[in-house]
Amino acid sequence: MAHDMLTNSLEEYWIPFTDNKGFKADPRLVVKSSGNYLTDHKGGQVIDASSGLFCSPAGHAHPKIVEAVHETMKDLTYVAAFGTSHPLSFALAEKLSRLLPEPINHVFFVNSGSEAVDTALKMVMAYHSAMGQDRHRFVSRERAYHGVNIGGVSLSGLVSNRKTFQSVMPNIVMMRHTWDENELFVRGQPEGRGVELANDLQRAVDTFGGSTIAACFVEPVAGSTGTLCPPRGYLERLRQICDENGILLVFDEVITGFGRIGGRFAADVFGVTPDIMTMAKALTNGSIPMGAVAVKDSIYEVITDKAAPGAIEFFHGYTYSGHPAACAAGLAALELYETEGLYDRAAALSPYFLDSVYALRDHPMVRDIRGIGSLIGFELKSNGTPGARGGQAQKDLFWNGMHAKFTGDTAILAPMFIAEQSHIDEMVGKLAKTLDGLA
């Protein structure tokens, strides 16, 4: 299907996070997606090496999800999200809470990862307020990505994502990122400087006073910046400092959740339980927009107990929180992750995926490769203009028949959990061919 059969003009749509002029001169439209593949508007088959934006591990257009949404929409297209609800929202929250580490059992639904982060920020504020504490400082990290809403941008450590937007939240303290240029091509957790880097939080405590810090937000594996795995001991030390100072620890598991790094959640993989977790993306296999924030029982109880009888406890929520179609998609996705053994399949394919991609480490275009589970940051050498080579590589890759998400010069590879070894071979072959063609 040619794009001009659907539309006369590409001009009006303002595409997010995209060079609009360049894109419109050389558009890359997807007209169909199924399993591991996309079909472009010229009829080409494109293997999806990033599961969309890391959101569709069960493959595109999974019939069970399509059917669940279709059946639900026959009866419920919308239910007011405030003051009323519907059974699917409770069923999904219950199912999700069974997957989450104890004692994280209360789930608030939102529509994206960005909304999950901003909701988590407000939950932290509501919690400390209910506790009668004046904690107004947040700790985040260089190279962090926490979405694009004002709270998430305030926590952002990616320069381009914040330099135009100066009016963000004050009182954010940044820890150093964990990438070390002396530790290239590490697979899994670097051995190095976990405790030393986590002690940046201790320095914030020493400088500002622990009782002024509300929460520490981290992606357990920094995803969008190109897969920065926490060095050994890092998350454990953050947990310890938070416990010693009454600081809430928030894991942003928007990418790492639902099997991406080799266990259900990063909290399970690394054996560190946060107080609050944010999720989105694979929650519905990317089929319907949805995110969630899950909190420890004690946080839910403190906030709900503080309100007067009959009063709303948390003045926050979205018109589409817990939308019936999203809940149906979420229930179907979580069900098939289990029934089709997708967490195990991903874990079983991981060594082959990592071996195959790391085999490109000596290519002259490659600067670093960082991988864990089913996630790899594949960093190209810059040509002097940051992001230029990555942008070119992304386009060339697409026309060579492969989709990969890039941040700057780094491709973030995240195959479907339904991928076979032959799909990995196809991805690596197309990646190598594209690298060979780069100037």
Ligand X SMILES: Cc1ncc(COP(=O)(O)O)c(C=O)c1O
Q: What angle do CA 412, 414, 417 make, to 5 degrees?
A: 180
Stretch that binds ligand X, among 89-97, 108-116, 310-318, 357-365 (CB under 6 A): 108-116
Tokens 């920094």 belong to which residue? 222
- Minimum distance between the CB of residue 14 and ligand X, rounded to whole angstroms? 16
52 binds ligand X (CB under 6 A): no
Would you call 20 helix, strand, or coil by DSSP? helix
Rank residues 128 and 146 by Cβ distance to ligand X and give the closer one.
Answer: 146
Which DSSP symbol is given to 212? G
H/E segment holding residue 78: none
Strands 30-34 and 410-413: unpaired
Binding to ligand X (CB under 6 A) within 239-268 occurs at 252, 254-255
- Residue 372 interacts with ligand X (CB under 6 A)? no
* Pick 147 or 274: Cβ nearer ligand X: 147
Instruction: Supply the minimum distance, in Å, between the C-beta of residue 226 and ligand X.
Output: 11
Strands 45-48 and 402-403: parallel
Give yes or no for a contact between 409 and 382, defined as CB atoms under 8 angstroms apart: yes
Which residue sits closest to ligand X, CB atoms considered? 113
- For the four alpha carbons of 48, 53, 54 and 60, in that order, the dihedral sign comes to negative
Residue of the chain from 65, 117, 267, 412 that contacts ligand X (CB under 6 A):
117
Per rule CB under 6 A, is residue 220 in the interface with ligand X? Answer: no
Query: Is 228 a binder of ligand X (CB under 6 A)?
Result: no
56 sits near ligand X (criterion: CB under 6 A): no
* 226 binding ligand X? (CB under 6 A): no
* 225 scored as a contact of ligand X (CB under 6 A): no
For residue 91, give every residue at least 6 positions away whose Cβ sits within 8 Å of its Cβ, in sequence order, or none. 327, 331
Question: Where do we find the tokens 């939950």?
Answer: 123
Q: Which residues 6+ apart lie within 8 Å of 245 measured at CB?
A: 205, 210, 211, 213
Nearer to ligand X, 260 or 389 (CB): 260
Q: Which of residues 132-171 bind ligand X (CB under 6 A)?
A: 145-147
Does residue 40 touch ligand X according to CB under 6 A? no
Residue with Cβ nearer ligand X (210 or 289): 289
Applying CB under 6 A, what is the total number of residues that bind ligand X? 14
Please state, in angstroms and rounded to a whole number, the distance separating the CA atoms of residues 42 and 388: 25
Contact call for residue 373 and ligand X (CB under 6 A):
no
Closer Cβ to ligand X, 109 or 145, answer by number: 145
- Any bridge partners for residue 218, and if so which? 251
Strand partners, 410: 379, 407
**Residue 114 binds to ligand X (criterion: CB under 6 A):** yes
Structure token digits, residue 54: 């890391």
Q: For ligand X, which is the closer residue by CB, 157 or 194?
A: 157
Q: Which is nearer to ligand X, 224 or 285 (CB)?
A: 224
Choosing from 219, 368, 409, 426, the residue that interacts with ligand X (CB under 6 A) is 219
Stretches 216-224, 262-270, 296-304, 335-343: which one binds ligand X (CB under 6 A)?
216-224
Choose, by CB under 6 A, the member of 88, 280, 292, 372 that binds ligand X: 280
Q: Which residues contact 321 (CB under 8 A, 6 or more apart)?
A: 81, 108, 109, 110, 111
**Cβ at position 323, least distance to ligand X in Å:** 15
The pair of structure tokens assigned to 106 is 């209360």
The answer to whether residue 118 forms part of the interface with ligand X (CB under 6 A) is no
Alpha carbons 242 and 213: distance in angstroms, whole number = 9
Write the CB contacts of 203 (distance below 8 Å, at least 6 apart in sequence): none
Binding site for ligand X (CB under 6 A): 112-114, 117, 145-147, 219, 223-224, 252, 254-255, 280
